[in-house]
Structure 1
Amino acid sequence: MSLPEPGAILAQTATAEEPRLRRLAAIIQHIRPDVLMLCEFDHPGTGGDDGSLANFCRHYLERGQHQQQPIAYPYRYCPPTNTGLLSPYDLDGDGERTLPGDGLGFGEHHGHFSFVLLSRYPLQEAQIRSWQQWRWQDLPDHLMPADYYSPQAREVLRLSSKNHVLVPVQVGAQQLNLLCCHPTPPVFDGEEKRNARRNHDELRLLTDIIDHAPWLRDDWGARGGLAADDKFVVLGDLNADMADGDGIKAGIRRLLLHPRIHRQVSAGKLTPKSLGGRFHLPWQPRQGRATEWTHLAGLRLDYVLPSSNLDVLQSGVFWPDKKDPLRHLICDEQGRPRAQAGSDHRLVWVDIRLNAGPDVA
C-alpha cells in the first residue's frame, strides 16, 4: 500500500472498489488477528494518519470481503518514519540532495514505505518508545562501510531505515510489548554492501533492545530496552532469511536463536508454515523449507516472534494451495500468484495465550 506520489494511497482508499485492497482485507478478515502490523503503508512521515488507514478500515476491513466477516480495529498507530526524510547532506555521492537516494531511509516522499499497527486491544501510546533517531555510527561494532559515506553524511545517517518502535498493548490485566521494525532489503547496493550491512545492524538493534543494552538511548533519552521479565512479540518484514538470500546471515541468526525468543516458533516445530508454499517455484534455487517461505522469491522474510515466556498455541502462513477455495485471494485474474494481485509477501500469524483475565485469549 505504497505509491511514489504522496497522497496516492489516501486517494486509492477513498472508495471501496479497489480489487487488490479487497483481497488484502479478505485475507485479514479470514485470519482475524487481534494485533496486526502492515508494512509498506504510506502515511505522513512525521507520524499519524492522513485518513488512509481510517479509509482502509472503514471501506475494506469493516465491510465483508469475498464472503468473509467484517473486522474492526479501534486502536491504530502510524509511527514516524525515516523513509523519504531528506538528509541535510548528500548520501549517495552524486553531488545533489534528492529523493529517494538521499533519504535517511529510502523513499520517494516522507512517509513512503511506512508501517502501521492495528489492534483490538488498547495501545498504550503514552508509553511507546522508538529509536528512529539513533545514528548508525553510534551502534557499537557497527558494519557501516568505511569509505562510502562522507564524514558529514556519517554524522547524520540514522540506523533505522523506517523506525524501531516498542508499543505496549494492554490485554486484560497484562501488558504485551510489540517490537516492530522493517529493515532495509540487503540488495540494491554495490561492492560496499551498504544495504546488506545496514540490514544486519538494524537486526542488531532489535537484539540489543531485547538485551536491554545499557548504552541504548531511545528518542526521548531513556536508556536500555526491554526488561528481563517483559513479554513481547517481534513483528516485521525483516528482509532476512537464515538459509537463503543476499543478507548477512549473522544478524537474522542472532535474532532467531536468541534465548529470549521462542525457539519453537523461530526455528523449531512451530515455525509458521503453509501448504501453498510447497508448490511455488521461485526464480532462483533455494535451500530453505518451502513451507516456511513468506515471499514470492522463495524466502522467509516476514516474522512474528513471541518471547520465550509466552505460551504459543499454533502458527501459520496464509499461502493457500491450488485446491483451496481461498486461493483466488493471492492470485490475479488468470489464477497466477502475482504481487500485483495483492502482495509479494504472505501474512504470517501466531496464536498465543495470555492469562490476562476472564474471556481474554
Structure 2
Amino acid sequence: MSDPVAGEIFEQLAQPSNARFSKLAAIIQHASPDVLMLCEFDHPGEGGDDGALERFCQHYLASSQHGQPAVSYPYRYCPPSNTGLAMVNDLDGDGKITLPNDAQGFGEHHGHFSFVILSRYPIIDAEIKCWQTLIWQNLPGHQMPEGYYSEAASAELRLSSKNHVVVPVDVDGKTLHLLACHPTPPVFDGHEKRNARRNHDELVLLKDIIDGADHLVDDNGHSGGLSPGSHFVVLGDLNADMADGDGMKKAIRDLLLHPKIHRTVSSGRMTPKSQGGRFHRPWQQRRGRPSEWTHISGLRLDYVLPSASLDVLQSGVFWPGKKDPLRHLITDERGRERPQAGSDHRLVWVDIALK
C-alpha cells in the first residue's frame, strides 16, 4: 500500500472500491490476528496517521470483504520512518541531493514504504522505544562497504532503513513487547554490496536489541534494549532467507537460532507453513522448503518469531492451495499469482499464549 506519489494511498482509500485493498482486508479478516504489522504502508515520515490507516480500518477492515467477518483495531501505531528522508550530504556521489537515492532509507517521499502496527490490545505509547537515528558506522563490527560513501555521508547515514521499534502491548495486565522492523532488501546494489551489508547489520541490530546490548542508546537517550526476561515477538519482512536469496546468511541464521527465540517456530517443526507454497513454482531454483516460503519468488522473508518464554499453539502462512475457496484472494482474474492481485508477500501468523 505504497505509491511513489505522496498522499496517493490516502486518496485511493477514500472510497471502499479498490479491489486489491479489498482482497488484502479479506485476508486480514480471515486470519483475524489480535496484533498485526503491515509493511509498505505509506504515512507521514515523521510518524502518525494522516488518515490513510484510519480509512483502511474504517472502509475495508470494519466491513465484510469477500464474505469474511469484519475486524476492528482500536489501537494503532505509525512509527517515524527513514524512508524518503533526504540526506544533508550526497549519498550516491552524483553531486546533488535527489530522492530516492539520497534518502536515509530508499523512498520517493518521506514515509514511503513505512510500516504500521494495529492491535486489539492497548499499546503502551509512553514506553515505545525506537532506534531510528542510530548511525550505521556506530554499530560495533558494522559491515559498511569501505570507501564507498564519503566521510561526510558515512557520518550521517543511519542504519535502520525504516525504523527499529519496540512496542509494548498490555495483554490483560501482562506486557508483550513487539519488536518490529523492515530491513532493506539485499539487492539493487553493486559489487560493494551496500544493501546486502545494510540488511545484515539491520538484523544484527535486532539481535542487539534482544540481548540488551550495552552499546545501544535509543532515540530518547535511554541505554540498552529489551529488559531481561521480557516476553517479545519479532515481526517484520526481514528480507532475509537462511537458505536462499542474495543476502548475507550469518545474521538471519544468528537471529533464527538465537537462544531467546522460540526454536520450534524459527527453525523447527512449527515453522509457519502453507499448502499453496508447496506447489508454487518460482522462476529460480531454490533450496529452501516451499511450504515455508512467504514470497512468490520462492523465499522465506516474513517472520513472526515469539520469544522462548512464550507458549506457541499453532502457526501458518496464508497461501491457499489451488482447490481452496479462498485462493482468489491471492490471484488475479485469470487465476495467476501476481503482486498486482494483492501482494507479492503472504501473511504469516503465529498463535501464542502468555505463560
TM-score when normalising by structure 1: 0.98
The match for 2:120 is 120
The CA deviation string for residues 179-213 of structure 1, in whole angstroms up to 9 with x for no partner, is: 00000000000000000000000000000000110
The match for 1:95 is 95
> Take 1:302 and 1:118, find their aligned partners in 2: how far apart are those partners?
17
Which one-letter code corresponds to 2:9 in the other structure?
I
1:280-319 mapped onto 2 (5 Å cutoff): 280-319=280-319
The match for 2:201 is 201
The CA deviation string for residues 279-310 of structure 1, in whole angstroms up to 9 with x for no partner, is: 11101000000000000000000000000000
Residue 173 of structure 1 and its aligned partner are, at CA, apart by: 1.5
The match for 1:358 is none
Secondary structure at 2:179 match in 1: strand
Residue 94 of structure 1 and its aligned partner are, at CA, apart by: 1.1
The match for 1:45 is 45
The match for 1:352 is 352
Residue 256 of structure 1 and its aligned partner are, at CA, apart by: 0.2
TM-score when normalising by structure 2: 1.00
Is there any run of 5+ residues in structure 2 with no aligned partner, and where? none
Residue 241 of structure 1 and its aligned partner are, at CA, apart by: 0.1
Residue 227 of structure 1 and its aligned partner are, at CA, apart by: 1.3
The CA deviation string for residues 91-139 of structure 1, in whole angstroms up to 9 with x for no partner, is: 0111110000000000000000000000000000110000000000000
Alignment: residue pair count: 355
1:178-327 mapped onto 2 (5 Å cutoff): 178-327=178-327
The match for 1:359 is none
Is there any run of 5+ residues in structure 1 with no aligned partner, and where? 356-361
The match for 2:130 is 130
Which one-letter code corresponds to 2:195 in the other structure?
N
Which one-letter code corresponds to 1:225 in the other structure?
G
The match for 1:82 is 82
> Take 1:159 and 1:126, find their aligned partners in 2: how far apart are those partners?
24
Residue 11 of structure 1 and its aligned partner are, at CA, apart by: 0.3
Secondary structure at 1:95 match in 2: coil
> Take 1:228 and 1:98, find their aligned partners in 2: how far apart are those partners?
43
> Take 1:129 and 1:299, find their aligned partners in 2: how far apart are those partners?
30
Which one-letter code corresponds to 1:120 in the other structure?
R
> Take 1:353 and 1:220, find their aligned partners in 2: how far apart are those partners?
31
Which one-letter code corresponds to 2:122 in the other structure?
P
The match for 2:330 is 330
> Take 1:2 and 1:94, find their aligned partners in 2: how far apart are those partners?
27
1:57 pairs with 2:57 = yes
The match for 1:15 is 15
> Take 1:227 and 1:221, find their aligned partners in 2: how far apart are those partners?
16
The match for 1:35 is 35
Which one-letter code corresponds to 2:231 in the other structure?
K
> Take 2:76 and 2:44, find their aligned partners in 1: how far apart are those partners?
14
> Take 2:225 and 2:319, find their aligned partners in 1: how far apart are those partners?
34
> Take 1:190 and 1:25, find their aligned partners in 2: how far apart are those partners?
37
Which one-letter code corresponds to 1:209 in the other structure?
I
Secondary structure at 1:2 match in 2: coil
Which one-letter code corresponds to 2:215 in the other structure?
W
RMSD: 0.4
> Take 1:162 and 1:156, find their aligned partners in 2: how far apart are those partners?
15
Secondary structure at 1:9 match in 2: helix
Secondary structure at 1:118 match in 2: strand
The CA deviation string for residues 247-285 of structure 1, in whole angstroms up to 9 with x for no partner, is: 000010010000000000000000000000011110100
Secondary structure at 2:321 match in 1: coil
Secondary structure at 1:26 match in 2: helix
> Take 2:91 and 2:173, find their aligned partners in 1: how far apart are those partners?
47
The match for 2:2 is 2
Which one-letter code corresponds to 1:140 in the other structure?
P
The CA deviation string for residues 13-50 of structure 1, in whole angstroms up to 9 with x for no partner, is: 11000000000000000000000000000000000000
Residue 229 of structure 1 and its aligned partner are, at CA, apart by: 0.4
> Take 2:84 and 2:9, find their aligned partners in 1: how far apart are those partners?
16
